[in-house]
Structure 1
């Protein structure tokens, strides 16, 4: 706040509204967010924080989250995916603290936190009154606002994000276990999310695409591999060329 203009600083100084939802997304400098900074920012909500979203903030610890939830008992969304310094026990403690007041927590995201067991998961489901049988979730959409973002994979029995195949005519659905599972157990097309074989079409970014999506995507002018939309920013354009070159081929050209 010290780096903004004085009038803007004064306008926000005593205004609670801008601080009711703290969201640290992938576009911010997440590595700079520490427990101390988080607590300082959260204090501006004066106990009325509603949303705490920390994406991949690896400096945040159990103590930092616990301090914030203790100060703000009415948090409705607690999203801490990929915050690898948090532990399952720390998350349970935070949710338990929120439950000591009016149970307002509606959405919990913890995908990417290490060592979450089935016991941890079931405890969290009980605390937030979540039905373990979640609605269908289709890859690559991870933005659903379920009460909890992970589940128990029917294939490996681990607690991870679990996806369904969007293709109603998928032959695997008729087999034992079907095609519902985590991304480690079932390979999915990076574009449409349907289950595919490991030897299906490979993209330039090494993700897997189904044949239909592979055909649709623009291809590298040298290796004839496409990028998925998520990694399309890696395309390199050569002078006087209407197409693109993938990073791997571009590096080979650069060496010549």
Structure 2
């Protein structure tokens, strides 16, 4: 009887020792998630514990695809910081996505590409510190290495003209670039086709292919809106929505307007509620209170 109790006690002690040795250790499945995290989340994970820090310092896999969108953040990514981060890929960076990164310059992009010649996806939308000439230089550098680049997004770069676009087309296929020439205004910009097969503009207004300035579109589904007034609704962010998308999106608790998916970060959470208020209503409430 005493022997049985002794065995049981030893087993429980062994179990306790095993549990205490694993305290604070991340679950193994979390390591599989690291390569898929956006940059800022990845850097935050490196601060969680020593295990994550060591894993991110020793493994280049999480650093092969760098994705940064500073639309909702303070502008922190500069040329120097970008070079420091991309150097973790050890010259094997394959994806570089920079959106609204206004501090990045032509020299910064070209320095990164010089050390990472196998990038196949280069997206630099709304990086207003870049120039068309600088991006052409970057793409030219990549083309020296077996035409690895397959996707280029440059919407929001200032002063792109037809000559620049022609140069891009000499380096890449037209369907690999996100901008084209609008058939209505003849400007270089993003050009859309209406996804609706029953669009009335296609039958009555010589087609509806064009840029957002020439053809009013739903911010969610890109369908033409405005041909009939009842088909168009306004979002809290003042973007246009079709009736179907407007109905499906969550609404502000005061004005009953939704945000489009690109502006959901402007929602202000209501206390003790799962709903939200838009920026305009939140500002009005604040003024009324004070």
TM-score normalised to structure 2 length: 0.71
- Are the aligned partners of 2:117 and 2:142 in contact in 1 as well (CA < 8 Å)? yes
1:183 positional shift = 1.1
2:102 to 58, 79, 82: 58
Instruction: Label 1:247 to 1:34 Cα distance change in 2 as closer, same or farther (>3 A).
Output: closer
- Are the aligned partners of 1:30 and 1:56 in contact in 2 as well (CA < 8 Å)? no
How far, CA to CA, are the matches of 1:46 and 1:242 in structure 2? 45
More deviation, 166-175/118-127: 166-175
Query: Over aligned residues, Cα RMSD in angstroms?
Result: 3.0
How far, CA to CA, are the matches of 1:52 and 1:83 in structure 2? 13
How far, CA to CA, are the matches of 1:153 and 1:30 in structure 2? 33
Give the length in aligned residue pairs.
241
Unaligned regions of 5+ residues in structure 2, if any? 1-42
Structure 1 equivalent of residue 236 of structure 2: 204
- Are the aligned partners of 2:113 and 2:142 in contact in 1 as well (CA < 8 Å)? yes
How far, CA to CA, are the matches of 1:240 and 1:19 in structure 2? 39
1:55 positional shift = 1.4
Instruction: Label 1:79 to 1:249 Cα distance change in 2 as closer, same or farther (>3 A).
Output: closer
2:53 to 1, 4, 9: 9
Structure with bigger RCO (C-alpha 8 Å, 6+ apart): 1
1:158 to 159, 173, 187: 187
Instruction: Label 1:154 to 1:3 Cα distance change in 2 as closer, same or farther (>3 A).
Output: same
Is 1:181 the counterpart of 2:210 in the alignment?
A: yes
1:120 positional shift = 0.8
Instruction: Label 1:222 to 1:74 Cα distance change in 2 as closer, same or farther (>3 A).
Output: closer
Specify the SS of the correspondent of 1:31.
coil
More deviation, 246-255/54-63: 246-255
Is 1:248 the counterpart of 2:272 in the alignment?
A: no
1:135-191 per-position Cα deviation (integer Å, ceiling 9, x unaligned): xxxxxxxxxxxx111111111111111111111111211346411111111111223
Instruction: Label 1:64 to 1:206 Cα distance change in 2 as closer, same or farther (>3 A).
Output: same
How far, CA to CA, are the matches of 1:238 and 1:161 in structure 2? 37
- Are the aligned partners of 1:154 and 1:177 in contact in 2 as well (CA < 8 Å)? no
How far, CA to CA, are the matches of 1:33 and 1:236 in structure 2? 26
Instruction: Label 1:222 to 1:25 Cα distance change in 2 as closer, same or farther (>3 A).
Output: closer
Structure 1 equivalent of residue 22 of structure 2: none
How far, CA to CA, are the matches of 1:51 and 1:191 in structure 2? 26
TM-score normalised to structure 1 length: 0.80
Greater fraction helix? 2
Specify the SS of the correspondent of 1:43.
helix
Is 1:119 the counterpart of 2:151 in the alignment?
A: no
Specify the SS of the correspondent of 2:240.
coil
How far, CA to CA, are the matches of 1:5 and 1:244 in structure 2? 34
Unaligned regions of 5+ residues in structure 1, if any? 135-146
- Are the aligned partners of 1:24 and 1:53 in contact in 2 as well (CA < 8 Å)? yes
